[in-house]
Amino acid sequence: MCELHHVTRAGFYAWCKRQPSQRQQLDQQLTERVRQIHADSRGFYGSPRVAGQLRLEGLTVGKRRVARLMRQAGLQGRSARLYRHSKVLQRAFYAGVPYRSESAATQRHDQVWVGDVTYLKVAGQWRYMAAVMDKHSRKIVGWSLGARRDAALTTRALCRSAASRNVRPGVVFHSDRGIEFANFEFRSQLQRFGMVQSMNRPGKMNDNAHMESFFHSMKCEQLYGKIFETEQQLRGTLSSYIRFYNERRLHSSLRYLPPATYEICENGETSVN
């Protein structure tokens, strides 16, 4: 073999006994931590978020190096194509609820909340999840699950959100133009909390893109490919994912911080370099 590769026998044995360089040793240690972070993210973190988590831990590692280590270890972030289904309710336009331009940009949390409803399956039957997000921090502040898509569903999510945040008057609540948000029951509850309602402009689905993005992430990262036989199973899975999303999932728009940590930093209680 030495003759085949044009090397001396002494040189070959010296190469076999050579110790890994300091950088190679560091790469080995980093790879182990990268594997742990990737596993903790349930296999969905790519190199940018893994690098962000390493920075949170005080390790300055470039995205390219992390990408190389992940590639060598056979790791990659996963994504999934979601199932599609037809709408069972028609959207209605309510001219009495305007789109408020102040809902487009935020400077602090508890300034604008956004809400939406999505469809989930349990034992072949549809269930409906209403969720409320703080637009500034991306934190899910409340949610509800039910067998009917109606104002009672969205009102429960709103009340739970208000209880968890000690809501102040003047908070803007933005949603699409679904009837469950335009219903008298829901709008009356907003008024009791002193909140200001805002809805998508006609044909502008991106006005509520933050909630669409959350539901997409939740379904891809947690629900895709799973079958739930009971509503209790689904509730447990949703609760677990929302804790993960709020407390551990890194967001590129939040300087690669989880929503809960980002709010703490915004409050000035700590800082993250």
Tokens found for residue 270: 């700590």
Angstrom distance (rounded) from CA 180 to CA 63: 43
User: Is residue 30 very low, low, confident or very high in pLDDT (cuts 50, 70, 90)?
Assistant: confident
Q: Residue 209: exposed, middle, or buried by beta-carbon count in 10 A (0-12, 13-18, 19+)?
A: exposed
* 129 shares its domain with 52: no
Residues 61-109 pLDDT 10s: 888 888 888 888 888 776 554 444 434 433 444 445 665 655 567 889 9
Tell me if 80 is assigned to some domain. Answer: no
User: Is residue 272 very low, low, confident or very high in pLDDT (cuts 50, 70, 90)?
Assistant: very low
* 14 shares its domain with 143: no
Could you tell me how far CA 186 lies from the centroid of its own chain?
Answer: 26
Tell me if 4 is assigned to some domain. Answer: no
* Residue 128 CB contacts under 8 Å (≥ 6 apart), including other chains: 117, 118, 119, 120, 145, 146, 147, 148, 149, 153
pLDDT of residue 74: 83
Q: Answer whether 133's CB lies under 8 Å from 114's CB.
A: yes
* 106 shares its domain with 69: no
Tell me if 91 is assigned to some domain. Answer: no
* 191 shares its domain with 65: no
Tell me if 85 is assigned to some domain. Answer: no
Tell me if 92 is assigned to some domain. Answer: no
Tokens found for residue 211: 């909630």
pLDDT of residue 3: 58
User: Is residue 8 very low, low, confident or very high in pLDDT (cuts 50, 70, 90)?
Assistant: confident
* 179 shares its domain with 63: no
50 or 234, higher pLDDT:
234
Does 232 score more than 90 pLDDT? Answer: yes
* 221 shares its domain with 116: yes
Tell me the three-class secondary structure of 63-130, residue by residue: HHHHHHHHHHHCCCCCCCCCCCCCCCCCCCCCCCCCCCHHHCCCCCCCCEEEEEEEEEEECCEEEEEE
* 256 shares its domain with 124: yes
Does 126 score more than 80 pLDDT? Answer: yes
Angle between helices 231-247 and 259-266 (to 10 degrees): 40
* 177 shares its domain with 260: yes
Angstrom distance (rounded) from CA 201 to CA 208: 10
Arithmetic mean of pLDDT, 214-238:
93
CATH code: domain of residue 257: 3.30.420.10
Domain that includes residue 57, residue range: 9-73
- Domain limit, last residue, from 19, 54, 73: 73
Tell me if 86 is assigned to some domain. Answer: no
Does 227 score more than 70 pLDDT? Answer: yes
* High-pLDDT (> 70) share of the chain, %: 80
Pairing of strands 172-175, 112-122: parallel
Q: Kindly report which listed range (14-18, 191-195, 233-237) carries the lowest average pLDDT score.
A: 14-18
Residues 134-178 pLDDT 10s: 999 999 999 999 999 999 999 999 999 999 998 889 999 999 888
* 59 shares its domain with 113: no
* 133 shares its domain with 262: yes
User: Is residue 269 very low, low, confident or very high in pLDDT (cuts 50, 70, 90)?
Assistant: low
**Token match 């390219």: residue?**
64
* 123 shares its domain with 34: no
- Number of domains forming the structure of the chain: 2
User: Is residue 208 very low, low, confident or very high in pLDDT (cuts 50, 70, 90)?
Assistant: confident
Residues 113-123 pLDDT 10s: 999 999 999 99
* High-pLDDT (> 90) share of the chain, %: 48
Tell me if 34 is assigned to some domain. Answer: yes
The gap between the terminal CA atoms of the chain, to the nearest Å, is 52
* 222 shares its domain with 106: yes
Angstrom distance (rounded) from CA 27 to CA 37: 15
